[in-house]
Amino acid sequence: MKKVIAVFLYFFLIGNSHAAVWVKLLDNNNAKITLDKQSILQKDNLKRAWVKVEYKTPQKNPETVDKQYNIAKLLWFFDCAAQKSATSQVFQYLNSELVYSVGIDVKNAEFIEPVPETDVDIAMRYVCKPDKPIAPATPKTTAVKPLAEKSALEKPKGETNKPEAVPVKTEEKVNVDEKPESTAVKLPATKPIPTKASHGKKEEHKPHWTYEGKEGPESWGKLSPEFATCDVGRNQSPINIEETMHATLKPLKAIQKFAAKDIFNNGHTVQINFKEGNMLALDNAAFQMKQVHFHSPSENTIRGKSFPLEAHFVHADAKGNLTVIGVMYTEGKANTALAKLWEQLPNEISEPIELKNRVIPSDLIPENRSYYRFSGSLTTPPCSEGVRWLLMKNPLTVSKEQIEAFKHAVHHNNNRPVQALNGRVIVE
């Protein structure tokens, strides 16, 4: 540990010996984020940069609940090719007083995919721009686990030297809206976006999986090499939403007026396919709504609470990247839109059945579109990661009879257990 601290302090002093040029990345009601462009360095496949976050209101550090801070200086490392990041050093101040600092060797740091539009994501987009000038490599560095990741991190023993003040020379306003080309994991060719041709009766050549017994969720990753991510993936869904980070999430922009066309039972769930035209604009990309399917009880939970029914609206862009809008249902008044769909609810595995009643997506999504956002995966094999999740905060109602009708159709609970966050951040 003494060696880690020594390297940490040495690197900090060396890394701050330059004249800083602070670039403004974001300034909103929550925080101002600036990045020292002179600190951008590259070694091997990683880039690093110092970032300063000035919060408009004091923040609480979960490691030291008795102390607050309103300024954080962080050294972030970025794997631009994988679009992942890790925090290497953290200094927190209350005005000018240092209240907390911590560090860990970068070789032991866990690189994770940042949630879009968070401070880490914004910084990564700036640093990873291909036209950024890269400074020469520096001596061996150290790294820190971000507080938001809430993973075990050993705090250095003794007091850490207070860092020298970094002179502010200039501050630029930059545009970070243009993202590098997405590296999100797409659905494998063996698991295509649901279509009439690929869904109906179970495909014979697919490895068989279930929600219980020897082929249940605990065994999915061992049933086939194709399903290995179910075991080894670090960003798996569903999750429990407990602690969140407040951010400026953009209102959802969507076209949801084209009706559902057919319904079928694939043995795992009941799925409704939509006509083309329903779109979601997100992260400078257009995602087309493909289908909605249901889980009972809910897969995601909110502060430990499970819901009797959850709907997943699956969207895909032209490159195959996925976004899922999740909607929770509580038991109460009968849902009018579901009542129309349930009139043709197939109680056994079936081919797609053309719907007689007109139901559009907005009938099944709450009017209040406040949402949680996080990175995750498919909740069924092959459990592919890189899925953008938008979980609506406000539930709709569904009657007890409608819940029971769905359970009767699938003959079993069809929810995967909650998965570990592994340092992921949930924003709202």
- Residues 315 and 256 both lie in one domain: yes
Partnered with residue 310 across adjacent β-strands are 295, 328
Q: To the nearest whole percent, how much of the chain has pLDDT over 90? A: 54
Whether the pLDDT of residue 156 is over 70: the answer is no
153 and 74 in one domain? yes
- Residue given tokens 């002093």 in the structure block: 13
Query: Any idea what the CATH number is for the domain that residue 351 is in?
Result: 3.10.200.10
DSSP-assigned letter for residue 411: S
**Domain's final residue, options 123, 143, 173:** 173
193 belongs to a structural domain: no
Asked whether residue 203 is assigned to any structural domain, the reply reads: no
Considering the domain architecture, whether residues 160 and 218 belong to the same structural domain is answered as no
Question: Cβ distance 245 to 423 under 8 Å?
Answer: no
Instruction: Examine the domain organization and report whether 264 and 146 are in the same domain.
Output: no
Examine the domain organization and report whether 295 and 239 are in the same domain. yes
397 in the same domain as 334: yes
Residue 293 falls within a domain, yes or no?
A: yes
Q: Is residue 207 part of a domain?
A: no
Residues 162 and 244 in one domain: no
Looking at the fold, whether 104 and 236 belong to one and the same domain comes out as: no
- Report, as residue numbers or ranges, the catalytic residues: 268
Per-residue tokens: 131: 């036209």
- Please tell me whether residues 290 and 362 are part of one structural domain: yes
- Whether the model pTM is above 0.75: no
The dihedral through the CA atoms of 270, 275, 281, 283 has a sign that is positive
The partner residues of 52 in beta bridges, in order of sequence, read 34, 73
Asked whether the CA dihedral 172, 176, 178, 183 is positive or negative, the reply is positive
For residues 97 and 6, membership in a common domain is answered with: yes
Q: Across 237-320, where does the E strand assignment appear?
A: 240-241, 253-255, 260-265, 270-274, 279-282, 285-295, 301-302, 309-316
- For residue 58, say if its preceding peptide bond is cis, omega within 30 degrees of 0: no
CA distance linking residue 26 with residue 34, whole number of Å:
7
Per-residue pLDDT at 82 exceeds 80? yes
pLDDT at 135: 47
Q: Is the pLDDT of residue 13 over 50?
A: no
Q: How many domains would you assign to the chain? A: 2
The domain containing residue 242 runs over which residues? 213-410
Task: Determine, yes or no, domain membership for 104.
Answer: yes
Q: What is the pLDDT of residues 352-381, one digit of tens each?
A: 999 999 999 999 999 999 999 999 999 999
406 is a domain residue: yes
Residue 37 placed within a domain? yes
Is 253 found in the same domain as 330?
yes
Angle (CA) 312 423 188, round 5°: 45
122 and 253 part of one domain: no
pLDDT at 230: 97
396 domain-assigned: yes
d(Cα 101, Cα 169) in Å, to the nearest integer?
25
Least confident residue range of 132-136, 165-169, 383-387: 165-169
